[in-house]
Amino acid sequence: MGAPFSPLSPQDHALLRVAGRGLPLSEQPFVDLGRAVGLGAESVLSRLRALSACGCIDGLMLVNAGAMPLQARDAIEMELLDALASGLPLVARPWEALGALLGVSADDVRQRLRAWQDAGQLLCIAPTSHGQLLQP
């Protein structure tokens, strides 16, 4: 019997495997993600948008570390959670896009995400399917 059918290319599988470990909270996360799979940032973004559009992934979503939802400490974090409810913006500089939406810097957005990780609330930002983290 042959291998199971998959509409995803080998490059898509590699991208999802690496992204499933969590998007880096670096200044240019899609550059870093692409470097790991031999793609440029624009190719990574194009593939992720296509995978989201076809329903292969929900998007790049916040993945909680436990059963409890992330706890916002202030109004900005509440707005950040709302902004990320439908997934991370698939743009070259997502932290800047979120910061512009919230009226804070890209560094502030990343620091808040890191604080959730350090507190053990946020596991990562990664592709999900039907609300579940894809296994790398």
Q: Other CB atoms closer than 10 Å to residue 124's CB: what's the count?
A: 20
The CATH number of domain 10-133, selected from 3.40.640.10, 1.10.760.10, 1.10.10.2890, 1.10.10.60: 1.10.10.2890
Tell me the pLDDT tens digit for each residue of 12-44: 999 999 999 999 999 999 999 999 999 999 999
Q: Other CB atoms closer than 10 Å to residue 33's CB: what's the count?
A: 23
The one-letter code for the residue type at 35 is R
DSSP state of 3: P
The structure's pTM equals 0.89
Instruction: Give strand pairing partners of 62.
Output: 125
Residue 3, pLDDT score: 45
Using CA atoms, how far residue 54 sits from 42, 58, 68, 73, in Å, is: 18, 9, 30, 35
pLDDT range class, residue 6, cuts 50, 70, 90: low
Above 80 in pLDDT, residue 136? Answer: no
Domain ranges of the chain: 10-133
Strand order from edge to edge, sheet including 132-133: 59-64, 122-129, 132-133
